[in-house]
Chain A
Amino acid sequence: MTMEKLENIPHISEISNCGVFSGCRAKRRETFRERSASSDKVLPSIEEAIRRTGLRDGMTISFHHHFRNGDHVLNQVMDVIAAMGFHNLTLAASSLAAIHAPLIEHIKNGVVTHIETSGMRGELAEAVSRGLMDCPVVFRSHGGRAAAIRAGKLHIDVAFLGAPSCDPYGNANGYSRDDDSSICCGSLGYARTDAKYADKVVIITNDLVSYPNAPWAIPEYDVDYIVRVDDIGDPAGIMSGATRYTSNPKELKIARTAANVIEASGHLYDGFSMQMGSGGASLATARFLREKMLEKNIRCRFALGGITGQITAMHEEGLIDRILDVQSFDLDAAMSLKKNHFHHQIGATYYASYLFNAAVNQLDFVVLSALEIDTNFNVNVLTGSDGVIRGAIGGHPDTAEGASMSVVVAPLVRGRIPTIVRHVGTVVTPGEVVDVVVTEQGIAVNPRRPDLAEKLAAAGLCVHTIEELQQKAEALVGVPSPIRFKDKIVGVVLYRDNTVIDTIRQIDEDET
């Protein structure tokens, strides 16, 4: 058949087309191996990559925090950016650790003038608390950040994403599929969101592998450039061998009590769902739940989070059917992600974005920690008793709101610092969604949950009021002098729906 002219084809205007065929693209004749070696995405240096992304002053750059306090990517990239003379950048790292202290210099030099993150620690956090930045740091939960990115409230121009392995076309992973000895961070859940929505994405890896690096965490079509460097991070800082169960008797008591609360609440049944925190007491709760599960012969349908070796061990034991992993906290968890079919990697959006019916909404319960809890059940995980920023929001408000029951575990006092207070220094998770508080000296149930109070009482658990717990703490440690603040606002805390829930002020260290 000879090809008709287009206009002779009936209904051609309704048939979507791109005009008449005019020839194919040129065929490449070299081998697949030769093709891979000449991928134009692989660039010789970070500097070259930055140039090619078209980064300009005033843009927003991002990093993930899966390398935790062993991350070498952010500092390396920032040093190159600074040397290239950029200014006024917004840094939207999903979270910042103590190792990122060199940012202080970049801020002083005007390279970075705004930060949006989940948390910060160490010297950088202290400097921010002392008024280092003109513009307040924006603190968001993981779900809030994912939602903000998707809704266009946080526009990322260039994402620099460290990856333990990547092929020449950009399929990146949190571990190597060829051996177990390289850097291994497990899930790259938070990085997925940046990869999908950032205008330009640069993968920084120390292990360029053959195509395809499948199954991948980040697909190649989300990636623009790849740079291979020798050092992306310190394994010791990225992950400990395995998170150990605490042997601290106080934490064990708290954990045992929390497990009893969960059992009494009716949320421990065959096929329940859960999320555990990674702190000593919240993690140890899993150990006591496991005992109860064995006793009652029940299984957990899925565990969400924040995954540690304890959870993956229970999965391998047959006690947990599925694992949804947005961040692997230790090597055991990362290895499990690599080898277990039903240990599944998810991104931040899937995990906790309030714009969707996210995974957090499927939780029976979540066990969370806290720096402070007040008599209205508001929780602070961001600032210390001295008013200095020293933590991260993480998925705290997302899981507290999403789960049917949120259990906050904490010691009544830490040394001389009370955990239960009249007013938290910073509201991160509002009391409205905090259901039960468990300390080693008593349980308190939010008055908004008379259903839970009834169930705990029926199970013979002794419940106090939150005011009683606060009084106990105060009787022990005394009434503290109030922290003095200056007027300058150094941080803005957003709830998971990106509304402003609290502010953080500069600490006042002047001699009175």
Chain B
Amino acid sequence: MYVKDRLRRSMMFVPGNNPGMVADAHIYGADSLMFDLEDSVAHNQKDAARLLVYNALRTLDFGKKETVVRINDLRSGLGVEDLEAVVRAGVQVVRLPKTDSAEDIQECEEHIARIEAAAGIPVGTTGMMAAVESATGVLHAPEIALASKRLIGIALGAEDYVTDLKTTRSDGIELLFARSMILNAARAAGIAALDTVFSNINDEEGFLAEATLIKKLGFDGKSVINPRQIGPLHRVFMPSEKDLAKARAVMEAIAEANARGSGVASLKGKMIDRPVVIRAQRLLALYEAGKITDGMEDE
């Protein structure tokens, strides 16, 4: 069963045909594990990867981590077979690559529902996420985000996207529009917004800069391709001491106002608006959730 609202600061890519990495995936503290059957698997090994991920999902214990599988494009003919396998294996979220339109999501959902029914799984058990990787997809982001109740989030796949735009990845300006569209579409639909992979594992500074940027933009998290990226990413998403103190002060003021029986709370002479409270609550929740999840030792 998938969970709509949960920490998704880090989604770790795990090549689906690599037994060692599949078995070790849960060790590194990522919030979500994304087993890939698509681009990281050679074409003539897609069948083997599918069977490996299928068996891994059925047998291995991934603890509290969210399990996601990136299936192949439905147009390729491989995607449906991927669904037959992983939906039955109990994956929590199916990631649909190269989502261009709401119809793509609907088509995928139909397959999932059919398979759930055939397998005796309550229909609606499996969640979905959309990966937008083209100009068309970005332009359709708002509709895509609303295309299914099962959608937990919408992600950006930058490599294919910049190729579609006929440019290259550089300082991030090339992704400005796509990130903004996806983020707004996600928020309008009440789902998560997830950023793309940062491929240069050795460029720690560059990764940190990108993570900081997308956090500022409002993203919920980012894909990672190496365990080394998880720690720095989570630190970016952890509220600073300063922000924590502020948020706690807000909540204290609210509590104090409630105790007085007053509907109006103020902090340092300024009235506390509802958005301020909501942001403070979110920040504290993120902090608490992060503390528990990252708690020195993971389960």
Chain A residues, Cβ within 8 Å of B227: 249, 252-253
The residue that B61 contacts in the complex, of A249, A253, A463, A475, with Cβ under 8 A, is: A475
Tell me whether A410 is interfacial, beta carbon within 8 Å.
no
Q: Which residue of A lies closest to B23 (CB)?
A: A476
- CA A361 to CA B168, docked complex, whole Å: 61
Surface stretch bound by A, among B103-111, B249-257, B274-282, B291-299: B291-299
Tell me whether A442 is interfacial, beta carbon within 8 Å.
yes
How many chain-A residues does the 8 Å CB contact rule pick out?
18
A253 lies within 8 A of B28 (CB): yes
Among the interface residues B27, B60, B227, B298, which one has the most CB atoms of the partner chain A within 10 A?
B27
CB distance from B290 to the nearest CB of A (A): 13
CB distance from A407 to the nearest CB of B (A): 14
The residue that A443 contacts in the complex, of B23, B28, B60, B297, with Cβ under 8 A, is: B297
- CA A252 to CA B60, docked complex, whole Å: 23
A462 lies within 8 A of B27 (CB): no
Chain B residues, Cβ within 8 Å of A442: 297, 299
- CA A257 to CA B27, docked complex, whole Å: 12
- CA A441 to CA B65, docked complex, whole Å: 14
Chain B residues, Cβ within 8 Å of A41: none
Tell me whether A500 is interfacial, beta carbon within 8 Å.
no
Chain B residues, Cβ within 8 Å of A252: 227-228
Tell me whether A423 is interfacial, beta carbon within 8 Å.
no
Among the interface residues B23, B24, B60, B296, which one has the most CB atoms of the partner chain A within 10 A?
B296
- CA A389 to CA B61, docked complex, whole Å: 34
- CA A210 to CA B228, docked complex, whole Å: 52
Chain B residues, Cβ within 8 Å of A460: 295-296
Chain B residues, Cβ within 8 Å of A462: 295-299
Tell me whether B148 is interfacial, beta carbon within 8 Å.
no
- CA A476 to CA B228, docked complex, whole Å: 24
B27 lies within 8 A of A461 (CB): no
Chain B residues, Cβ within 8 Å of A260: 296
For chain B, residues 214 to 239, give those with C-beta under 8 angstroms from any C-beta of chain A: 226-228
Q: Which residue of A lies closest to B230 (CB)?
A: A249
Chain A residues, Cβ within 8 Å of B28: 249, 253
The residue that B297 contacts in the complex, of A463, A475, A476, with Cβ under 8 A, is: A463
Contacts A249-B28, A440-B27, A476-B23 given: A257-B297 contact, CB under 8 Å? Answer: yes
Tell me whether A479 is interfacial, beta carbon within 8 Å.
no
- CA A260 to CA B226, docked complex, whole Å: 22
CB distance from A423 to the nearest CB of B (A): 25
CB distance from A259 to the nearest CB of B (A): 11
5 tightest A-B CB contacts, nearest first:
A462-B297, A249-B227, A461-B296, A440-B27, A260-B296
